Amino acid sequence: MSEPILEIENLSKVYPGVRALWDVSMKFYPGEVHAIVGENGAGKSTLIKSITGAIKPTKGNIIYNKEIIVNNNPIKSLSLGITAIYQEFNLIPNLSVAENIYFGRYPHKNGFVNYKKMYNDASKVLENLGVYINPKTLVKDLTVGYQQIVEIAKSISMKTKVLIMDEPSAPLTNTELVYLFNIVKKLKKEGVSIIYISHRMEEIFELCDKVTVFRDGQFVKTMNIEETNRDELITLMVNRKLEDNFPKRSVKPQEVVLEVKNLTTDKIKDISFKLHKGEILGFAGLVGAGRTEIANAIFGADTIKCGSITVEGREVDNKNPCTAIKNGIALIPEDRKKFGALMNLSIKENISYSTLKKIVGKFFLINSKYENKKTSEYKDILSIKTPSMKQKIVNLSGGNQQKVILARCLFTDCKILIFDEPTRGIDVGAKQEIYCLMDELTKQGKSIIMISSEMNELLGMSDRIMVIHEGKIAGEVSKEEANQEKILSLASGI
């Protein structure tokens, strides 16, 4: 075995009252993809920031090529060949691909930027990754997947030796995932040491050579990938056996609370179905099939060409989301950061902003006492983990962000909840909490439409499953009949 290129030695990071990282020791080797897994708050992000010099550890050493890195900082780590690609990309939208790749390192000739050389160099880096992107294209005009490739190209242009990837697959389509996997495998062959952080078990087992589990800021175990399995990793992550990830549901048919007839928009056609009280109705389908578009139409976010929506026997006209909320419908969107939450506002403000009429008192002033009381109640009911309701939602884990958005929906007194990818970007333990909350809501008489791309989630939580293909309903599958083969067959139009 070759010598490690990067070593972590007894690393700790302590904040007042919190041990974010405690006595962690690890080794990373050239040409190896090393996964790090753990629940949100397990210490993964703190480790990344320590390695890249974004934060200073309380104690311990980071050793690169057998030498301790002294006074580490982001510039120093970059100069050594340690780069990181975070979930939030560090790109400038209005600059070109080439300008982003070489930002701060533009080639010059006769005192001017040598754009010809920069475009040529950028093309070579991208071609080396096996993709073609016009280096003159503005980054804002690229898909999320191609933006990520630009981030990787930027790292490669810096002669990276250690590449840290934080949830790289979370925003990608299936096609973009193929590109990502091929690039990771190519970099591995070229001797790059890749630290791969992900919640997605299937890609960890496909791509990675080793996996290390973190829990509560501490190192738990490192294993060769062929020596472990999904169940063992989950058990190590949450420190308990997850023999049954999903609550046992027994739903008896009740009255219809939502009926959709012949719903048609620019992207969906003749959608008809019924949702019963206390039911979880799953929506399955491939990416782009029209599931989110159905949700948007019901919620008043997309214009309806024809068709009808009936809530508790009364036909409603959801011209916009405000009307839908008044009619008892709430949507928890797929992209919670873009559409679901106001990331720079507090938890309290995020919970209450959809129900201002409830908290505004005399003279149009907010009744802070009532607002504090109700938002704190939802914090306790949903077990939102935070030191203060004044904390900005951007600083919460994915699972807690999802709970805040759910709290806001519940504050509107909704009867029907539409969950679009309810557990995307959420760790295993938090997923189970969301499942239990959904189950509890149905026991209280709420009804749920759940759009999901995770087969286990659909099969484990749905009482019925509607399968969507090319904007139409391809079929309905009962819980008893549902299996992966049947759903995929319908979703593929077979």
Domain coordinates in residue numbering, the chain: 6-238, 256-491
Of 253, 300, 297, give the one whose Cα is nearest residue 271.
297
Q: What is the fold of 6-238?
A: Rossmann fold (3.40.50)
Which element (helix H / strand E) includes 78? helix 74-80
How far apart, in Å, do the first and last CA atoms of the chain sit?
Answer: 49
Token pair belonging to 161: 């030796």
Q: What is the pLDDT along the chain (494 residues), one digit of tens a residue?
A: 589 999 999 999 988 767 889 999 999 999 999 999 987 678 888 899 999 999 999 999 999 999 999 999 999 999 999 999 887 788 999 999 999 999 989 999 999 999 999 999 999 999 888 888 999 999 999 887 888 889 889 988 988 999 999 888 766 777 778 888 888 999 999 999 999 998 788 889 999 999 999 988 899 999 999 999 988 888 888 776 555 578 888 777 789 999 999 999 999 999 999 999 999 999 998 877 899 999 999 999 999 999 999 999 999 999 999 899 899 999 988 877 677 777 778 888 888 877 767 767 666 777 778 777 888 888 888 888 888 888 888 878 777 888 888 888 888 889 999 999 888 777 777 788 889 889 998 999 999 999 998 888 899 999 999 999 999 999 999 999 998 888 988 988 86
pLDDT the model gives residue 361 = 67
Q: Do domains 6-238 and 256-491 have the same CATH topology?
A: yes
The answer to whether the predicted template modeling score (pTM) of the entire model surpasses 0.85 is no
Of 493, 425, 477, give the one whose Cα is nearest residue 283.
477
Owner of token pair 């036909």: 315
Of 357, 461, 468, give the one whose Cα is nearest residue 411.
357
Whether the Cβ atoms of residue 274 and residue 259 lie closer than 8 Å to each other = yes
The residue length of the chain stands at 494
Of 235, 214, 211, give the one whose Cα is nearest residue 224.
211
Please tell us whether the domain made up of 256-491 is placed in CATH 3.40.50.300. Answer: yes
Token pair belonging to 86: 């975070």
Is the Cα torsion angle 331, 93, 303, 462 positive or negative in sign? Answer: negative
pLDDT the model gives residue 241 = 56
Of 339, 33, 385, give the one whose Cα is nearest residue 207.
33
In angstroms, the CA 87 to CA 73 distance is: 20
CA distances from 248 to 41, 203, 370, 467 (A): 28, 28, 36, 23
Whether the Cβ atoms of residue 347 and residue 393 lie closer than 8 Å to each other = yes
For every residue of 222-279, DSSP letters joined together read EEEGGG--HHHHHHHHHTS--S--S---------EEEEEEEEE-SS--SEEEEEETT-
